[in-house]
Amino acid sequence: MSNNNETIPYFYIIKNVKTNIQYAGAKWGNGANPDNFLTESGYKTSSTIINNIINEEGLDTFEVISIITEFDGLTAKEYETIFLVENDCASSMDWYNCHNNETGCQYGTEEFKKLMLMKYGGGTQYATSGN
């Protein structure tokens, strides 16, 4: 695709091959390159939930469904936000995403914990693990 040192902002969708639950995200800025995405030494998302699953079950638990590098005049983050909002990923049990980029809900806050409990309930191991 490109030189691994080249910065290429991208939007991605990955899927847990065991549960079929998906996660959508974007990477931009220094180090952004889809060639390095979801590789042992590359970027594996900023999501604590996804990284915990990878650490516990392995990188091959996820498959890349889509990578987009052209955003029709938008930034990667703007494209991600539009996708999350239009699909309301935060409210869907089919997505690991805990927010639609519209909230100031910070990891570890009471608001975040309430959001995780509301979405995943009290019995799941990832209820307070991250976004």
Residue 5 lies in a domain: no
Residue 120 lies in a domain: no
Residue 68 lies in a domain: yes
Distance CA 36, CA 43 (A): 6
Residue 127 lies in a domain: no
Mean pLDDT by 10 residues, the chain (131 residues): 78 97 95 94 92 95 98 95 95 92 64 66 42 39
Where residue 97 sits, what CATH number does that domain have? 3.40.1440
Enter the pTM of the model.
0.77
Residue 39 lies in a domain: yes
**Residues belonging to the chain:** 131
Domain that holds residue 63: 10-102
Residue 114 lies in a domain: no
- pLDDT at residue 61 in the model: 97
- pLDDT at residue 76 in the model: 96
Residue 117 lies in a domain: no
DSSP state for residue 95 in the 8-state scheme: B
- Number of domains observed in the structure of the chain: 1
**3-state DSSP assignment of residue 82:** helix
- pLDDT at residue 12 in the model: 98
Residue 96 lies in a domain: yes
